[in-house]
Amino acid sequence: MTSFMPDTLNPATLLSKRFRPDQIPDLSGRVALVTGGSAGIGYWDVAALAQHGAKVHFVSANPDHGRQAETDLNTALEQSGSKGSIVYHQLDMGNLKKVDSWVKKFAQQEKRLDILIANAGIGQAPWGLTDDGLERHFEVNNLAHYVIVLRLLDLMKETAATAKPATVRIVMQSSEMHRFAPSGISFASKEEINEKGDGVQLYGRTKLGLIVFARELACRKLAEGNPILAISVHPGTVDTDVQKAWGQSYGALGSVIDKLGRLVGKSAEEGAEASLWAAVSTDINQSNWKEYQGKYYTEPYGKADQETNQAKDQAVADNFWKLCSDLTEELLGERLN
């Protein structure tokens, strides 16, 4: 007998369009990389891609969490009979030289890369500087992904030359929290980025950065050749460990916000649906992929171009790209643009 009850009573999920696991195509032979894959949304991105046959690499800063996730997920794959596999890599994304060294080795060792999900990030935590002397939200959430993506573009272009058209994709895990970015943000300088600020605004600024990064990547690097899709998404209000940052930044009030978010938010598994849709949905294909290129979506199958005017500002986007390029030259001795 068919049930007419929903598979969840979560209000955040019920109000969203869904991309369910049974909509994921066979991914056998395909290779994916997910940053921040040991917990939360990234964990479920890794699990779903591998369950459908992909070889999935993921990075995480904490080796204990990363190895445990790798063991648990591979055990589940073996028990289910899936042909997918999962490989963990320890990586501190707050150290750009380590990021660059790791990603160059990865590009040499892997023969293809079909999917890259830029998921890792610091949440609404207090302001702080990395060992590189950069505001930590910006370096981890934005600059490290800039280096990873640009270093892997050649490998992804090689993959796109033989892959089914429009199946090679780069997904930025953005958020509607980009609306909380400071109103005067311009990404004009290192000094601006390093100014002390509110945790929510610092986090929101990086989510805005991922929206403009996807768009500029599409325009600057992916306009020619075999199709590679760059897209940014909002996962919804999700109950993950990132929520703990509310308490770190705002004390008792933040703890209340954290608890409310966990009460009404999606599960991490449900939150992964948006990035999985962007990464593998066959509804995005050779005939229509240009309609999605560089766009920001607030939910699977949603309406594009709903980001703030600030996120649409070309001057902001140009500054973001130039700042990332300048900082890679400063820290790595090389421009990647």
Residue-wise pLDDT for 197-209, tens only, equals 999 999 999 999 9
Range(s) within the chain of domains with CATH label 3.40.50.720: 91-123+130-235+272-332
The answer on pLDDT for 9 being more than 60 is no
The burial of 220, by beta-carbon neighbours within 10 Å (0-12 exposed, 13-18 middle, 19 or more buried), is given as exposed
User: pLDDT confidence of 3, banded at 50, 70, 90?
Assistant: very low
Each residue of 4-32: b (16+ CB within 10 Å) or e?
A: eeeeeebebbeebebbeeeebeebeebbb
Helix (H) or strand (E) holding 117: strand 115-118
Q: What is the DSSP string of 121-183?
A: ---SPPP-B-TTSSBHHHIIIIIHHHHHHHHHHHHHHHHHHHSPTT-EEEEEE--GGGGGS-T
Residue 307 dihedral angles phi and psi, to the nearest 5°: -70, 170
Residues in the chain: 337
Closest CA to 48 of 68, 25, 71: 25
Q: What is the DSSP string of 222-283?
A: SSSSS-EEEEEE---SB-SGGGGHHHHHHHHHHHHHHHHHHHHSBPHHHHTHHHHHHHH-TT
- Sign of the CA dihedral with 200 first, then 201, 204, and 206 last: negative
d(CA 145, CA 152): 10
Question: If one looks up domain 91-123+130-235+272-332 in CATH, what number appears?
Answer: 3.40.50.720
Mean residue pLDDT across the chain:
90
Each residue of 37-58: b (16+ CB within 10 Å) or e?
A: bbbbbbbbbbbbbbbbbbbbbb
Q: What is the mean pLDDT of residues 258-267?
A: 59
- Sign of the CA dihedral with 45 first, then 107, 212, and 210 last: positive
Question: Residue 64: which residues within 8 A CB-CB, separation 6 or more?
Answer: none
d(CA 110, CA 23): 27
Which of 247-251, 302-306, 319-323 bottoms out in mean pLDDT, i.e. has the lowest?
247-251
User: pLDDT confidence of 2, banded at 50, 70, 90?
Assistant: very low
Residue-wise pLDDT for 163-194, tens only, equals 999 999 999 999 999 999 999 999 999 999 99
What pLDDT was estimated at residue 16?
63
User: How far is the CA of 226 from the CAs of 14, 184, 205, 222, in angstroms?
Assistant: 37, 37, 32, 8
